[in-house]
Amino acid sequence: DDMAKIKPMRQMSLENCLEYIESDELVEVTPNFIRMRKRYLTENERKRFGKQ
């Protein structure tokens, strides 16, 4: 009965997101949302581009 607990999302401004991200991440900005995501979404892409 191990229950995984997920922390709630943090509300971050665009400036905070830009300071927070690493070189392998992107910030997506839409009229309604600011999202942080990995540049390469699949594990295979990350492995392939990580070797370069």
In order, the DSSP letters of 1-52 are -PPP--PPPPP--HHHHHHH--TTEEEEE-SS-EEEEESS-SHHHHHHHH--
29 occurs within a structural domain: yes
Mean pLDDT of 12-26: 92
Amino acid at 16: N
Q: E strands within the chain?
A: 25-29, 34-38
**Is position 5 within any domain?**
no
Tell me the whole-structure pTM to 2 decimals: 0.60
Asked whether residue 1 carries a pLDDT value surpassing 60, the answer given is no
Q: How confident is the model at residue 52 (pLDDT cuts 50, 70, 90)?
A: low
Averaged confidence pLDDT in the chain: 86
How many domains is the chain built from? 1
| Per-residue DSSP letter, 31 | S
Q: Is residue 1 part of a domain?
A: no
Domain membership of residue 42 (yes or no) is yes
Mean pLDDT over 16-22 rounds to: 93
Q: Does 33 reside within a domain?
A: yes
What mean pLDDT comes out for the span 14-43?
91
Q: Residue 44 is part of which domain span?
A: 14-50
